[in-house]
């Protein structure tokens, strides 16, 4: 009989037994002592849900509209690099599952299939996550290539001026990623030995420069400070992903959910604000949306599915979270995403 996975934690366990030690450490790794990773997830339980009664919840609409496209659910796939470490079909399998389930996918710069390969046949096209390399000319060509392949939204990751202190997988990172043992198709043969995917010299001036190169919308991923949220508005970016890179960069003891509250106060519905980090249950999704997130993204959870069963595993993980979210919306008396707001939340008084 086929194993039935009831939740994300079942998939996490299955992935642990399937993956090599190196791949597992890369997936679950985090900065320093992993306090930020833990806080990302544990903070959700500090907020309570207050359900409403006697609402007709026989029909639930979870559709998300974003930049003119419609998706089946507010659960988006965060960019994850090096996906061939987890399954031979890598991000191609992820794309197949996202497309089949109507979920938006964000394709990483540093995964092993090119954007063109991943996006082929998908509708709507995935967003593209950009690491601005130390070679602006290479970055420019990459931007032009993804736009020519139908990408409408560029997600610039801004929280990796340098790679965080991930002690458990530092060696593996150097051998596979820096050493380029697994090819990174978006950048294959383009960077010299002294060049790097991450550019520590990047400043806010990269935004007008990107706008000169393309017509794609620009979203910044990795915003935590309200001051940076203000700068996002000043530089006219189209959206924000509140994220601490899944606790892989700075050991900040600040969860993305806490940062979301500060950012939302500044953006005040002017631009979409997404959140990632620590989402493991439908109730987590609901709480983030009730705090003002337009949608949420997940990273490790869908990779647990990928490692366990390729595209079918990713599809199932997304289905599990969608099913949990739907049930929780019904239990709260909420019929669609527009109805989700702070009135369903309570902060413990003792
Ligand atoms: C193995 C792995 C690889 C990642 N690669 C990228 C990447 O290439 N680009 C990026 O912007 N974020 C990357 N991230 C961060 C995710 O996009 C996301 O912010 C994070 O995984 C969300 O936290 P969660 O795993 O708790 O859902 C990666 C995360 C993991 C776990």
223 φ, ψ (degrees, to nearest 5)? -80, 135
Mutate to test the pocket of ligand 1, among 142, 219, 248 (most ligand atoms within 8 A of CB): 248
Our answer on whether the CB atom of 221 is closer than 6 Å to any ligand 1 atom is yes
Nearest ligand 1 atom to the CA of 79 is: 17
Mutate to test the pocket of ligand 1, among 186, 245, 252, 304 (most ligand atoms within 8 A of CB): 245
* Segment 52-79 mean pLDDT: 98
| Contacting residues for 162 by C-beta, under 8 A, at least 6 apart | 198, 200
pLDDT of residue 183: 86
Query: Model confidence at 180, in pLDDT bands (50, 70, 90)?
Result: low
Ligand 1 centroid to residue 36 C-alpha, Å: 14
141 φ, ψ (degrees, to nearest 5)? -65, -40
Q: Are the C-beta atoms of residues 244 and 36 closer than 8 Å to each other? A: yes
Our answer on whether the CB atom of 39 is closer than 6 Å to any ligand 1 atom is no
How far apart, in whole angstroms, are the C-alpha atoms of residue 32 and residue 36?
9
pLDDT in tens, 156-167: 999 999 999 998
Mutate to test the pocket of ligand 1, among 250, 299, 306 (most ligand atoms within 8 A of CB): 299
How far apart, in whole angstroms, are the C-alpha atoms of residue 75 and residue 309?
20
Residue nearest to atom 10 of ligand 1 (CA): 79
How far apart, in whole angstroms, are the C-alpha atoms of residue 81 and residue 74?
22
Residue 53 preceded by cis peptide, ω within 30: no
Ligand 1 centroid to residue 131 C-alpha, Å: 13
> Domain residues of the chain, as ranges?
8-336
Ligand 1 centroid to residue 246 C-alpha, Å: 6
Positions annotated as catalytic residues are 245
Tokens read off for 84:
């061939």
Map residue 296 onto helix, strand or coil.
Answer: strand
pLDDT at residue 211 tops 60: yes
Ligand 1 centroid to residue 213 C-alpha, Å: 26
pLDDT above 70: percentage of residues in the chain: 97
Residue nearest to atom 5 of ligand 1 (CA): 80
Query: Model confidence at 1, in pLDDT bands (50, 70, 90)?
Result: low
Our answer on whether the CB atom of 256 is closer than 6 Å to any ligand 1 atom is no
Its CATH class, for the domain covering 8-336, is alpha beta
Q: What is the pTM (predicted TM-score) of this model?
A: 0.97
pLDDT in tens, 10-23: 999 999 999 999 99
**Is 264 or 2 the better-scoring residue by pLDDT?**
264
Our measurement of the distance from residue 187's CA atom to the centroid of its chain's CA atoms, rounded to an integer in Å, reads 21
pLDDT at residue 179 tops 60: no
Q: What is the DSSP string of 81-134?
A: S-GGGT-TTHHHHHHHHHHHHT--BEE-TTSSS-HHHHHTT-SSPPEEEE---S
Helix/strand/coil percent split, the chain, to 5? 45, 15, 40
């Amino acid at each position: 009989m086929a194993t039935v996975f009831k939740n994300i934690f079942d998939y996490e366990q299955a992935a642990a037994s399937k993956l090599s030690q190196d791949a597992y450490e890369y997936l679950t790794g985090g900065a320093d002592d992993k306090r930020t990773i833990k806080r990302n997830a544990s903070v959700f339980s500090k907020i309570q849900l207050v359900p409403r009664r006697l609402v007709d919840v026989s029909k639930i609409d979870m559709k998300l509209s974003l930049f003119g496209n419609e998706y089946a659910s507010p659960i988006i796939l965060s960019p994850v690099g090096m996906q061939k470490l987890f399954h031979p079909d890598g991000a191609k399998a992820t794309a197949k599952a996202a497309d089949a389930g109507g979920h938006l996918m964000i394709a990483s710069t540093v995964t092993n299939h090119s954007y063109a390969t991943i996006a082929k046949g998908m509708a709507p096209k995935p967003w593209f996550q950009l690491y601005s390399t130390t070679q602006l000319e290479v970055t420019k060509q990459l931007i032009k290539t993804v736009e020519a392949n139908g990408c409408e939204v560029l997600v610039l990751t801004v929280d990796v001026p340098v790679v965080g202190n991930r002690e458990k997988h530092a060696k593996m990172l150097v051998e596979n990623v820096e050493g380029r043992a697994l090819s990174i198709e978006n950048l294959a043969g383009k960077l010299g030995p002294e060049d790097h995917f991450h550019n520590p010299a990047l400043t806010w001036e990269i935004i007008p420069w990107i706008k000169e190169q393309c017509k794609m919308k620009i979203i910044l991923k990795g915003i935590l400070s309200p001051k940076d949220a203000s700068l996002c508005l000043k530089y006219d970016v189209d959206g924000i992903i509140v994220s601490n890179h899944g606790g892989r960069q700075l050991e900040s003891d600040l969860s993305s959910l806490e940062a979301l509250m500060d950012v939302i106060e500044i953006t005040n519905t002017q631009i979409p604000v997404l959140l990632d980090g620590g989402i493991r249950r439908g109730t987590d999704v609901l709480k983030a949306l009730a705090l003002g997130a337009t949608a949420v993204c997940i990273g490790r959870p869908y990779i647990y599915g990928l490692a366990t069963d390729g595209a079918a595993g990713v599809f199932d993980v997304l289905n599990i979270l969608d099913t949990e979210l739907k049930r929780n919306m019904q239990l709260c008396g909420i019929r669609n995403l527009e109805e989700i707001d702070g009135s369903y939340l309570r902060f413990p008084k003792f």
